[in-house]
Amino acid sequence: MPRIFGTDGVRGLANGHLTAELALDLSVAAARVLADRGEFEGHRPRAVVGRDTRISGQFLEHAVVAGLASAGVDVLLLEVLPTPGVAFMTQALDADLGVVISASHNPMPDNGIKFLARGGLKLDDAVERDIEKHLDEPWERPLGGAVGRVTPYATAVQEYVDHLVGTLARPLAGIKVVLDCAHGAAYDAGPQALRAAGAEVIAICADPDGLNINDGCGSTHLGPLRAAVVEHGADAGFALDGDADRCLAVDHTGADVDGDQIMAILAVGMSESGHLPKNTVVATVMSNLGFVQAMRAAGIGVRQTKVGDRYVLEAMRVSGYGLGGEQSGHVIMSEYATTGDGTLTALHVLERMAVSGQTLQSLAAVMTRLPQVLINVPDVDKRRANDDPVVAAAVAEEEAALGDSGRVLLRPSGTEDLVRVMVEATTADDARAVAERLADVVKRQLSL
């Protein structure tokens, strides 16, 4: 059976690939699989359902709720709430299942469905595979009082905001910040949390109309944030994505601060205060070499994983690490959250500014980003990327020439017939020259 679930749930064009019928079937199958696994034993099962601001989320929400209730699951409707907020409420309400209806940073026409296990954690791959196997199967439906109840849960935003603010050790009084909400799921909770923490907040792109989520704003389009920070003389700015599980930042001059720099700021602060478990941070292989060098200089270990927040979270859970994330701004602070949380990240970067008395620009200078060049080489046999001796020899030669001042990463795409060639070096010209030479070798050796 072809996979329906991707790396972050089921995602696609709403009412195209992702239909109401599929949403209903997925919810029924999820309820049946969890019941078969004994997750509902001894009690009435309960789920929480939240969504972002896409207009398609309304009909998909109804379909998901109908499926769950028809399978005997009581449902609490959280309505518009960030993905990390749904994860928090899944845990806080001891729900058996959480459902997020969102396509994160994707364009508005897309949408997605993501299931969360008890405790607010992502479902295991094996459970997702079981759900796929149970789609469209005949089943014995509950009747009478055994069907699920559907109840609005009106205090979800306030409870989530209270949780976020409660993670801080000191107020953010005296800090002016711009928050770009991407017209997304945190348009209400994000500004509320920062204001409740004591910051002066200018909220932009916080007027969702169902159609404008991620449209020229948010973490994928930093232009509006840069302009607003400079215009308002703010100390910093943060841009969330559509479901607010990630954020990127700009300093008071409008200069970008990426996910690696954000992690470096938090890691150094946590290490200095003795709150960085095992004095180690988890990052992916795509993190800038400058991040690894900065952590080494600060005496902090770096555990690197494959690309994807699920691999970062898995390494954190298995080894007991407390901080991890990606260059994209998906930062996980496991003491407070089970997934990336853009608003939580912004709060703790601002707290670091308040505690240290330093600007965001000064804190970000803890690491120097090496120029990074990425070339996608299409129409090649990606399966041989790591085995071809000529490619391997070319990579080894370039790595030897770069030494400790750069690195090379060849990564087959997970979804397309292409190989990604990423090179970091002390100058952009050097990085591009190496990347182009290696891309030529890959194209010549692995062409289909």
Q: Taking Cα atoms as reference points, which of 291, 257, 215, 225 lies closest to residue 55?
A: 215
Q: Of 104, 219, 271, 287, which is the active-site residue?
A: 104
Q: Taking Cα atoms as reference points, which of 226, 238, 7, 278 lies closest to residue 122?
A: 7
Say how many C-beta atoms besides its own lie within 10 A of residue 109's C-beta. Answer: 15
Residue 79 near residue 65, CB atoms below 8 Å: no
Give the integer Cα–Cα distance in Å for 172 and 100: 30
Dihedral of the CA atoms 333, 277, 326, 315 (nearest 10)? -100
Residue 259 near residue 328, CB atoms below 8 Å: yes
Instruction: Clarify whether 104 is annotated catalytic.
Output: yes
Strands (E) located in 24-157: 46-51, 74-80, 97-101, 110-117, 121-122, 150-152
Give the integer Cα–Cα distance in Å for 93 and 99: 13
Q: Output the CA torsion sign for 107, 237, 283, 391.
A: positive
Beta-bridge partners for 46: 74
DSSP string covering 316-358: HHHHT--EEE-TTS-EEETTT-SS--HHHHHHHHHHHHHHH--
3-state helix, strand, coil in the chain (%, to 5): 40, 20, 35
What's the full length of the chain, in residues?
448
Give the integer Cα–Cα distance in Å for 86 and 244: 11
Active site residues per annotation: 104
